[in-house]
Chain A
């Protein structure tokens, strides 16, 4: 930093403090706004909220368990859970839309099983699909490698083995560099030892 900028900071300490103070204020307001928003939702649609709360319990569990930043497990469970809850919601919204019906749905073992089994299905998809996809990725990758090797072979056939010299020479260069680094690393303790000896 130059002296001028330092001086400017010294001259306007209040301005910087003010701008910094707005962000924490916003952050402290956010949960409150959420609470208000959720309270409004609960008050406006109590039957839907109740159905969703009970029906979507596996998703909440998955959300808590899933530590990954992308929350793919949560996504899978949530999507399938929604699929299971959707018939209940649809029935609620298309018929009486009251607490009693909501209670009837969540107490109906068949409806509840549908919701939780579909959530389980999501869990199942999350455990089964990725390994299969990874196998596919590997196969596709191998095919691409074969294709590229074929291209390289054609180049070698047309231009001779020397055409690969650029790779070999780079490898040799890399190896020599790494050897050099190793040697340097080996030499360092000696230097340290010698300085310690002094």
Chain B
């Protein structure tokens, strides 16, 4: 058993040492250097991390250290399980030390499929790799918290290696290809039951589940957006044209296509397309169709060619489903499917050196050369071609209508030509991704495309522009059937359009990011390194980072505001508008109210650090009070509250209505007193002037009185003397 495990581990000496250490409980594991794929920088970083790193379980509740069940060894990489963007490392489950596990460390700059991960975690889905658990770990290579996903190791090697091996006969390989087909039925059905598509089926992501090569399992599908790291051969024409982050979840038919493409690559046993540019692969598929491009003439077995032809049908209605494959494997006859073939023009339209006979070819070529495309639209060559050569008067009239509308709106729309071209491309070929400027996204790939762009530090302006210009809505409401079919999507498109129209915190592109990608960690520069997925993790994290962040800045920036607004479904409009206010005092108070709202909703854990941070920012809000004495009283009350770590009490102290009323009345009284004093000063100044009438009069009166007093005094003396 131990030998078998060691063999699975790669049979290396250090792994067997690990096994011993697991048993003894000592975790001083020697550094393993087996991978040529690890770069020197990675090596250096891993070398520094000698100790195993604990995985901290994350879920909607507060993460706790008690859940440190899994440990990951940064010095024990397992390159054979690497995905395209995530590196694999040895992991152990302390509760089941004999279980062979590996951990994929997700790249924080690539969005992951978090919803799918939650659905798959802890489930044993036949013919799919088992996701044991997931959580954050402090990964030295990225110098931040990263999502680590723990998988059970497959029992056997990857299919890719098997097919490249000279050891096995072609007949055996054909049998394995059939085994892949058989396993794919179970695997994809199991995923479909959970509403998950795989979208990462490729030769190096399929493994034998045993050493006897008797069963197959599909590898991970959650570390990248759907179809992200797929070669264009493995993607359908429509999804392959889209940008790698914007290919969308798709459905089971996309996975069926990928299975067939994988088998064709494996059976060809060459990397023939590596020399072709992505554009050329897509173009060849459009011109010749996918089956002819990937398979025809290259496979020796006619039997398997038949199933691949069905599975690689470009028209989704004609493509074989899982039931068809099942029937085929049972050697039953598959009824042919009727679907509308692509109409071909009687005369080709010469565009960019290519004579295009179909709408699909033309639409693809136009999306690749946009300036020339606009020329043929404006010269009406396209309309004429549609009407005369393609004989599609409806299409021609739609094109001319959109063109006329665009000419009318040209003065108003900044990017009228780009918008016109995008609309024409949608009309020409509605199944193709939406193409605007240099981006292409599928209907279900907008969110992941936006996330990919933002997480990579790119500019999402073109994405937001396409929404603001109503391109997504135009596609979703192309005709009445589409309107009914896409009701939910139209609602989402309208919602994100509303978010984009609002510029304040909690809205804009940040809100779109979190609304469309519920599994996207908070991208605020303040906490980006903490990899926060849930609002419940937010306050404890802000509390934790107080010592290492600039506490002069607000703990609620645009990203955090949008993250909170997305995760907490309560009505936070009032708080968000306060945070966006120009008045610093209202802004600060709004921030505090929002944090209090989260604290009230999540937990009653004291937040000493955060309370200290927020308390230090309260000066503008305290300055709302006019009375200096009241300000001092409030300021002196803050340290006491900070020691309790209760943000609610802090809000109560600062935003106390009785204090406000008292201050208002006091201020009014003070103003009146000031006014009265000013009036008295003016009066005194006027009267005390030596030249003033009253001073003159008073002084003369005084002289008279003095004279009279002298008179009385002397007269009295005389009388008394006699």
* Residues of A participating in the B interface, judged by any CB pair closer than 8 Å: 68, 70, 72-73, 75-80, 82-83, 86-87, 90, 94, 122, 125-126, 129-135, 137-138, 140-142, 144-145, 148-149, 151-152, 155-160, 162-167
Contact = CB atoms under 8 A, between A and B. Distances in A.
Interface in B660-684: 666-667, 670-671, 673-675, 677-678, 680-681, 684
8 contacts: A86-B711, A94-B722, A130-B702, A148-B680, A151-B673, A155-B674, A163-B671, A167-B674
Interface string B435-465: 0000000000000000000000000000000
Contacts of B718: 86-87, 90
Contacts of B689: 138
Contacts of B704: 72, 75-76, 79, 126
- Give the dominant DSSP class at A's interface: helix
A166 B671 contact: yes
A140 B685 CA distance: 11
Given A152-B677, A159-B670, A83 B627 contact: no
Contacts of A148: 677-678, 680-681, 684
Contact of B674 (A78, A132, A166): A166
Given A130-B702, A138-B688, A159-B627, A164 B674 contact: yes
Interface string B675-715: 10110110011011110000111111111101110110011
B626 A159 contact: yes
B670 A83 contact: no
Contacts of B701: 70, 72
B603 to A, nearest CB: 40
B670 A163 contact: yes
Given A90-B722, A157-B628, A129 B711 contact: no
Name the residue among A70, A87, A152 with the largest chain B CB count within 10 angstroms. A152
A162 B699 contact: no
A172 to B, nearest CB: 14
A155 B700 contact: no
Contacts of A159: 626-628, 666-667, 670-671
A134 B707 contact: no
B629 interface: yes
Given A73-B700, A133-B695, 17 more contacts: A68-B700, A72-B700, A72-B701, A75-B707, A76-B704, A83-B714, A125-B710, A129-B706, A131-B699, A140-B688, A145-B685, A158-B670, A159-B626, A162-B626, A163-B670, A164-B674, A167-B675
Contacts of A83: 710-711, 714-715
Nearest to B691: A134
With most chain B CB atoms within 10 A of its CB, the pick from A72, A75, A87, A159 is: A159
Given A83-B714, A87-B718, A152 B674 contact: yes
A144 B711 CA distance: 33
Contacts of B277: none
Contacts of A152: 674, 677-678, 681
Contacts of A134: 690, 695-696, 699
A19 B597 CA distance: 89
Contacts of A145: 681, 684-685, 688
A144 B683 CA distance: 11
B719 interface: yes
A129 B667 CA distance: 46
Contact of B707 (A79, A140, A155): A79
A78 B629 CA distance: 61
Interface string B601-644: 00000000000000000000000001111000000000000000
Contacts of A163: 626, 667, 670-671, 674
Contacts of B702: 129-130, 133
Nearest to A152: B677
B675 to A, nearest CB: 5
Contact of B710 (A80, A130, A162, A167): A80
B628 A141 contact: no
Given A140-B688, A151-B677, A125 B629 contact: no
B713 to A, nearest CB: 9
A168 to B, nearest CB: 10
B699 A137 contact: yes
A35 to B, nearest CB: 29
A149 B681 CA distance: 8
Contacts of A132: 699
Contacts of B722: 90, 94
A160 B628 contact: yes
A76 B711 CA distance: 10
A163 to B, nearest CB: 5
A70 B704 CA distance: 11
A145 B699 CA distance: 20
Contacts of A158: 627-629, 670
Contacts of B714: 83, 86
Contacts of A82: 711, 715
A76 B627 contact: no
Across the A-B interface, the 8 shortest Cβ-Cβ residue pairs: A141-B688, A130-B699, A133-B699, A79-B707, A129-B703, A72-B700, A134-B690, A75-B704
